[in-house]
Amino acid sequence: MHAAATWIMENQEWDFLAVYYDAIDHYCHGFMKFHPPYREGVPRDLYDFYNGVVESGYRFHDMMLERLLQLAGDDTTVIICSDHGFHPDHLRPLKLPKEPDGPAAEHSPYGMIAMRGPNIKRDELIYGSTLLDITPTVLTMFDLPTARDMDGRPLLQAFQQKPELKVIDSWEEVAGDCGMHPVGEKQDPWMEQEALDQLVALGYIEPPGDNVQKTVENNARESKYYLARVYLSKNDYANALPLLEELFNKYPEQSRFGLRLANVYLNLGRTKAAREVTNKSIIESEKLQVQDIKANYKEQQEKIEKLKQEGKEIKEKIPELADDATLLEQIRKNNRPTMELLQGNLYLAEENPEQALEHFNKAKIANPRLPDLHINIGHSYLKMQQLQDAEEAFFIALEIDPDSATALAGLGQVYIQMRQFNDAAEALMDSVGRIYHNPNAHYFLGEALYRLGRFEMAAQSWEVAVTQAPGLKKAHKRLVDLYHKHLNEAMKAAQHQQMINKIIEVPEQGIIPSVKKDDTLGTILEQTSKKKLSGINPEKIITIVSGLPRSGTSMMMQILQAGGMDLLTDAKRVADKNNPKGYFELEAIKNLGKDKSCLADAQGKVVKVIAQLLAALDKGYHYRIIFMLRDISEVLQSQQTMLDKDGQDNEKLAQTFQQQLHRIQVWLRKQNNIDVIYVKYHDFIQQPLIEMEKLSEFLERVLDMQKCVKIVDVKLYRARR
């Protein structure tokens, strides 16, 4: 890698070069356990042999960096960054989790960044940077715009003369070769195992063999899991929840799914569900551990038997395998610290700190150095207003891990309660200096600074808090009060008051009910979105009928046509026995991901768009969407009848469709150019006049009710639950 980079620098014209050196990561995963100081449990002979490997690896990279700097020259800006660090000390786990990313447990959350260049400050610290800030910073250096859909920001504090900022909505919208697949060739984000099964069922691809099938299933499982973890890192519980629910229901023995799902439930205030998932996860995990012990014992026996057959001497004898009850007791003893910590967290979430402390103290007896234990003990005492005990607990946590941003934030909250505001501000500044993206820490830092009379700095802290968490209403309230009473900023106060009003009006998108097998889609989605298009010229609005295939979209198109609205169709798909009155489709819509030009003719008209294509709509138009909902079992029954696949097990496909609809609803909520009404197919059949009144009000126009009602044909309601 280094040879390729230096050859390019010496032999080609370049204005930007990025090089990824991954050897340090391998050195540390392989040999950090032998890095000084010596740790109990590491074989001494291996420590003596390997203790210099990590340091030598870094020295080797310093030599390569020296050559890169020579070739780059002093007129080039150089950035060195890492996405994480490594625990070189007692925080390094002795055992790794049994999952594909198990080695990540050895990582420290703190990476590093260093910059050098003509316009870069010298001997300055950069606070609050993340890996997502690197690209916006590089774009800014080249006088190119950053994008509003980027999570990161330019690191302006690093520049001697701050560059002019340019911003666009999204680089995804900019034409040009960027080395990515064209939009139409990208994999659909929901192409998972269920989608593969559906393609096989439809005859588009051959079924893979057993081994390939297992590999695909495992890859799909891990992809969903890591996608859920990405959502969790952004506190996006709405998207993480259905993924984790699906994984836990399918793989209950994998505690990693259950424990993360329980954590989501806790954050959504659903403690009963969290407790149920935790208990089930513990039971299934214990069963799996018993199976692993038995399998390992059997494997050792087979090895010994093979050695005997080869006539080799057997020195070691395997102890007899204990019975299941004894094995289970031993497993529970080993797991007790973690299990007690989990139970304590549940009681803490239920606002029962006394009961939580009982479990935390049991965990402390079993393992006094358990990560996060003393932080949770500190928060329990904080809830009980036992401030000195809380302070001591957070000090112990910091003695175990001096860089714990969470422990520092907890200590800051204790000092606020003690009215030691200088100490509180110092602890909270240390906390956000380590992990900047922590809106609660910024909120409490603002409280400490406010009490110290540092109103400008308090405003900055609260502004950061609401930037990171726009729904943090308490921070908006403090800003309204601060701008009115102390900073004479009436306009800013009004802006935050508007945000408060918006938070009150719009439910938090993170709280979405869980999906159960017997849920109808109509019970898990909102009926109608807030009006966003009032005052828009109706001739400029595109009306869309959407939903899953076989959810009643064709019937709705007929109703709107009978009611006096213009449809945009091409009649290429003709009526058949499945839709005897026609499909009312526009062929060009199927290519919406590649070509959106057909939407120009849809203004003032009605067009049918399948639910999974809604995200491909052109953002330059206004839309009213009539989203058809139908019992998922009826939808799939109708689809299978259409495919002549009656009697097929649809559980996987039902789960996939449910998750897709959750994601689509979350996306729709975020769009300022879209109004939505969710129409239940069953209700429309049973009480068409009532439902048409609602529809007419939503469309802000008068429909011809008598003609509309005539379209509803109960005889075509053939796939019934």
Q: What is the 3-state secondary structure (H, E, C) of 154-211?
A: CCHHHECCCCCCCEECCHHHCCCCCCCCCHHHCCCCCCCHHHHHHHHHHCCCCCCCHH
The CATH H-level superfamily of 521-716 is P-loop containing nucleotide triphosphate hydrolases (3.40.50.300)
Handedness of CA 263, 264, 270, 276 (dihedral sign): negative
Each domain of the chain, given as residue ranges in start order, spans 2-171, 239-315, 424-508, 521-716
Per-residue 3-state assignment (H helix, E strand, C coil) for 36-97: CCCCCCCCHHHHHHHCCHHHHHHHHHHHHHHHHHHHHCCCCCEEEEECCEECCCCCCCCCCC
Q: Is the pTM of this model over 0.95?
A: no
Could you give the CA distance from residue 552 to residue 572 in angstroms, rounded to a whole number? 19
Burial 155-175 (b: 16+ CB within 10 A, else e): beebbeeeeeeeeeeebeeee
CATH topology agreement for domains 239-315 and 521-716: no
pLDDT score recorded for residue 652: 63
Question: What pLDDT was estimated at residue 506?
Answer: 33
Residue-level pLDDT at 56: 96
Residue 186 φ then ψ, to 5°: -70, 145
Structure tokens at 190: 């929901």
List the structure tokens of 370: 């358990």
Q: Is the bond leading into 252 cis (omega within 30 degrees of zero)?
A: no
Q: Report pLDDT digits (tens) over 641-691.
A: 766 655 555 666 777 777 778 878 878 887 888 999 999 888 888 888 888
- Residue for token digits 């297992």? 214
Q: State residue 674 phi and psi, 5-degree precision.
A: -135, 130
The answer to whether residues 240 and 510 touch, using CB atoms and an 8 Å cutoff, is no
Tokens of 342: 């989990």
User: pLDDT, tens digit, for every residue of 346-394?
Assistant: 888 888 899 999 999 988 988 888 778 999 999 999 999 999 999 999 9
Helix, strand, or coil (residue 8): helix
Structural tokens at position 603: 């203004």
Query: Is the confidence at residue 186, as pLDDT, over 90?
Result: no
> Please, are residues 147 and 168 in contact by the beta-carbon 8 Å criterion?
yes
User: What does the pLDDT look like over 382-399, one tens digit per residue?
Assistant: 999 999 999 999 999 999
For residue 207, the model assigns a pLDDT of: 57
CATH number of 424-508: 3.40.50.2300, 3.40.50.12280, 1.25.40.10, 1.10.10.10?
Answer: 1.25.40.10
Class of 239-315 per CATH?
mainly alpha
Q: Which residues contact 505 (CB under 8 A, 6 or more apart)?
A: 530
Q: How many residues does the chain have?
A: 721
Q: What is the pLDDT of residue 520?
A: 37
